[in-house]
Chain A
Amino acid sequence: MTKLDDRVRRTAGTTGGTASPPRAPGRRSTWERIRRDRVLLLMGLPGVALLLGFHYLPLLGNLIAFQEYLPFVPLGRSPWVGFENFAVIANGDPEFLGALRNTLVITLVQVVFVFPAPIVLAIMLNSLLSERIKQVVQSVLYLPHFLSWVIVVAVFQQILGGSGLVNNAIRAAGGDAIDFLGNPNGFIALLTGQVIWKDTGWATILFLAVLSQIDSSLYEAARMDGASRWRQLWHVTLPGMRGIIILLLILRLGDSLTVGFEQILLQQAAVGRSASEVLDTYVYNNGVLGGQWGVAAAVGLVKGVVGVLLVLGANKLAHVFGEAGVYQKES
């Protein structure tokens, strides 16, 4: 199926979009192409304008990565310091390296546990026969998404804290309180649990939409061939979701160095720095708090560059497996 899709996609790429019969692939003048695609260009214009105006224009402000930025001086006129702000990354500061390590570990754990959770949940929901129950369950599951991290952390504290619901019950039963929130070794598990609780239900929305688009005749065909439910899952359902899964995975990888900020900052005091510092909190603590906006910008730039490389790499890898990935060059 994939190969057919490939061929379809590739041929589509070369036909262009006009009503005139496909010409032999050959050189077209730029002007002709613009004329041909003028409607598309116009359609994309508002979006691109917004992007340029509100994203790329302020992005120029990242030049403060090379300055010692003083907010009360017009932007750009602060003293230049070259690559000094980047020294934080290069000089082997053990805290920075620790933060980097934590970040990568958390990303890995999240990709392994948090990323598949909504997929599994969506498939489980999809297998429900009653539409009504499905909708009710869905509505319940997305609720935590709306809580800000401040609330989520507060709620977790009320339930898992030293004098929270769970520990009160344990103490009443004569046991010793369990330290859920202050244990540095369990911190990553706690973080992951919180993220799963908060966002899994929400993420299933997208996957359910994808699942709903899968051709039911494919299921029928598989059934007629005698496929069991598991085989149907493997041969119809999962392939049907493959495209979006890979797309989201690539985007998630591109974001590897971002693992949550407010959530972690709120709980840092409880477990200590070494267990909880990640790149973003490190930058906050070292950059923003001391008014060192330049350092924050510098690290942001580096994160961006790394992200680009990761996305490119992951996309290439996807191509190797025959997937479209996020984008591909037209042939």
Chain B
Amino acid sequence: MRELSYRDALNEAIAEEMARDPSVFLMGEEVGYYNGAYKVSRGLLERFGPERVIDTPIAESGFAGVGVGAAMTGLRPIIEFMTWNFSFVAIDQVVNSAAKMFQMSGGQYKIPIVFRGPNASARQVGSQHSQSLDAIYTNFPGLYVVYPATPRDAKGLLKMAIRDDNPVVFLEGEILYNHKGEVPDEGADELIPFGQARVAREGTDVTVVTWGRPYYTVMEVAKELEAEGISCEVIDPRTLRPLDHASIVKSVKKTNRCVVVHEHWPYGGPGAEIVDRVQREAFDDLDAPVLRATNLDVPMPYAVELENDVIVTKERIRKTILQSLYRS
């Protein structure tokens, strides 16, 4: 094991898969000569050449569609959105083309494609650049939705996504790129399967389910609460579709309480989906209503004080956990 940033873990995943399979290519805005808007593709142009690391004009719908067409005809594209916010102008290709093609064609055309890029809030980039799209893309059958929090998960899940024959929406936490963590040594070729949650911290009093950016805030809160005698079990589903609800339910049956913490807006989405499943499948085991701590239900403001409050805060997470324990 060694320490690697989330960014470099993703970079390694792409490089290893491109080296392994010549049908894999990377396409997007500024991925080549600029080395990536967030430097995830640093060095890849130099190593693999402009035929496989392809800069595009600002035309998300166009290059997302080119990716799907290439996937239909035997290639394995990695399509980078400079941010997932820009995928709105290409959502027709992600949903109507990529997600539906295999079924619409009666099981003929597989779409082995990864759409990836930074997701959710960063720092003061305003409402059009701060959205978390997990709530949208999880709604569509035919897509896998992956959202790693740690560098190790980022690498292992991205490699897996590239090798799978289905379209994958791969959400990277924009604020997480510099985050460092342990990653298996080069050449370890770790592939992390989808639909398997990771228990990030074992505990006995309450199950906290979280993913993406708030994962780190939750881990901090859990540490603080431990000092106060409260034991949190933290579960990161890692993939939101498929969702490993069995692991979540199993944990809730042990702790009898559940809090879901996420960055997408509170209306619907995987956050609400998890609550639904827990209430149905662990109804007899619950000692309190399943609660959620989320971003506030407003478009992201620019002003720093407001932004800090809209993004699911440490205080709200702590308060919600205490509430579920009837200690607030």
A and B: partners?
no
